[in-house]
Structure 1
Amino acid sequence: MKLKKPVISVAPMVDKTDRYFRNFVRMINKDVLLYTEMVTAQAIIHGDLERILGFDEAEHPIALQIAATTPEDAYKAVKTAENYAYDEINLNVGCPSDRVSGNMMGACLMAYPELVLDILKAIKEATGKAVTIKHRIGIDGKGILPDNAEKTLFDKYEDMLNFINIIEKAGADRYTVHARIAVLAGLDPKQNREVPPLRYDEVYRLKAEKPYMQIEINGGIKTKEDITEHLKYVDGVMIGREFYDNPMLLAEVNSFYNNGEENISRYQVLEKMIPYLEKMEMNNERTHLFLRHTLGLFHNVKGSKYWKNSISSQNLKNNKGSLIIREILKNSKECEI
């Protein structure tokens, strides 16, 4: 599937971008690129495939993001995932978690560009789908990278450029660059999204110096105006927490695709929820698994407290989420839908 341009995507987020959240996104926006949560190659090779890889047709376009330590594992995992109709495969070289880095995955691999090159080549060999990579502008690997590593600090533009110059030989289809370095020891993942300063200019410079590359920018992007500004310099924009915390931003993003849905209302989103929740109830799935992702639907508008209280897990103890939504629609004036 050829992705619509510009590429605007919802960042992969652990414990957030599961199939329930992805279906929620599709009730608001049909065009943004979705990602799975990061999945390790070993989990795919040895795990419950339907639970790990299953998704609904409505979720397209969707990318599978994997983390891998070796080309062999990456190849096996992607070959296994070929049974699922993902639109692209993305390699995670950006996760700053010390647990992930301690297992030679994620951002620490920026210190080993030749290995990343081999992993990307293995993925390309395993699939005919688009293959992309997500990474940082650099890393501080002190305390995580082995003492015999050639370097532990990669925080200059030239370090990122060297990384790109090596891995581009694999022919990745898109590079998603988080415009902060990752500090692998001393900062947790949340702090790594906030403490290292944003350096957008280095991502812009990369695109200017390599105009033939598809470059997507990530990090600290919160508004439609931010997206418009970044798209002057790069090919795509990835947003994570802001889409999750304020999902109606996805409605504003509709305008980039001229799909006529930028004015979708919260009322209309609630109506779309009902058949999805009824299907969950018929399958004896807990509707809280879906509704927990929708807490931000009334972000910064009157009715937010009413909404959150209505869909609290206590109110959902009888697993009748669809009935609660119907009741909210009846009382829509209270939450000013």
Structure 2
Amino acid sequence: MTQLLDAATTSAFVAPRRRRIGSSDLRVFPIAMSGNVFGWTADSESTIGILDEYIGAGGNFIDTADSYAAGRSEHMIGRWMRSHRNRDAMVIATKVGKSANNPGLTARAITRAVEASLERLDTGHIDLLYLHVDDDSVPFEETLLAVDELIRAGKVRYFGAANHTGNRLIEARIASAQLDVAQMVALQNHYNLVHRSEYEEGLAAVALRQNLAVMPRFALAGGFLTGKYRSRLDLMRGARARDAYPYLNRHGLRVLAALDQVAAAHNTSVATIALAWLLSKPLVVAPVVSASRPEQVESLTAAASIQLTRQQATELDRVSAR
């Protein structure tokens, strides 16, 4: 570990570069700001402060869904963009399939959901549309044709998947080729230092073959990888601690100990290093993170400027492996 620290002290910050989303022409800041708490644990004032801090750090990629706070998240993001007159500078991703008003991925549900999202976001187009669920009750052909029609109409620019298995992504790619319609460019999936196998042992190979940009969600394991939950007492004090609870074990604490060492070497936070580890992985374009208060944003966006040494990345790989 001493060698790890010595090597780290000579590493330097690098300027964040925007990364390309798959085969699209979308280029984004390497950290996506999630709107999942907007209208829920973050009120209007906090949401404005969070987004202001984010763009102040160079951010341009906002991720939301029509189901977040029953659509209030999209409303709040739309109002913020309108007040700042910055829609053209932002890349907006939203998801359809889980809302109470337009559930599922039938052609009718997708079309209605996108129209509603466009109205709430106060925009003429969605840059990246995710299929928020894998609705196997609907033939992929129907879903893909509906999305392609929205793309041809200019209401959606590109699309991707969330919560899909590797096999289902392969099915979708085959169907897209047969129908000669737009293909997915992005994948949003559960991936972080304490939840690796689901992505690395299945989805990663499919994403590579299909040139999908990977946007890890739960990138900080429900707050566990911020380092604030290290005992059962800590869990009792956290309003959203149930998301971190599964990771408070020997394995999770070993990961936090390794993160502590690397964070100290870079004079930064545990959360920053956990995100920097994700950004060091092939195909990962922008982990999706959330903040409930503006002061939390800095440690998230700082990850885009951290360059882990080879020794640090290898040690984090080793400690987090199961």
TM-score by length of 2: 0.44
TM-score by length of 1: 0.42
Q: Structure with the greater relative contact order (CA < 8 A, sep ≥ 6): 1 or 2?
A: 2
